[in-house]
Amino acid sequence: METKKVVVTQVIEVKYDPSKFTEEFMSDFRQYMFSHFNSVDDHIKYLATLHARGFLENEWEFYGDLEENMKIQLNIENIEAELENDDSID
């Protein structure tokens, strides 16, 4: 059996309405979900990562319906894959 490592890179375009990330929303999110989320960028990166991994559904915990409630749209712009230099693992 052979094993190879593949590096996969995705570019996710995220469209969002910054006004949806009110101080009340941010505070509640930190209290109930992740205390280290201090910026809108933290949310954008989190949601893009979930989308890239295929875990994100249209409705997500605490955000509710992403498009309806949060006005968030995520689209895969580009996917690239290449083999790592170390092409075999023992």
Specify the pTM.
0.83
**Whole-angstrom Cα Rg for the chain:** 17
Q: Answer yes or no: is 1 within a domain.
A: no
The pLDDT of residue 86? 63
Model pLDDT, residue 90:
46
Q: Which domain holds residue 57?
A: 6-83
Q: Taking CA 48 as the corner, what is the angle to CA 44 and CA 50, rounded to the nearest 5 degrees?
A: 120
pLDDT mean across residues, the chain: 92
pLDDT at 19: 97
Quote the number of domains for the chain: 1
59 is written with which tokens? Answer: 């409705």
59 falls within a domain = yes
Q: Each residue's pLDDT tens digit in the chain (90 positions)?
A: 999 999 999 999 999 999 999 999 999 999 999 999 999 999 999 999 999 999 988 889 999 999 999 999 999 999 999 999 864 444
**Residue 21 resides in a domain:** yes
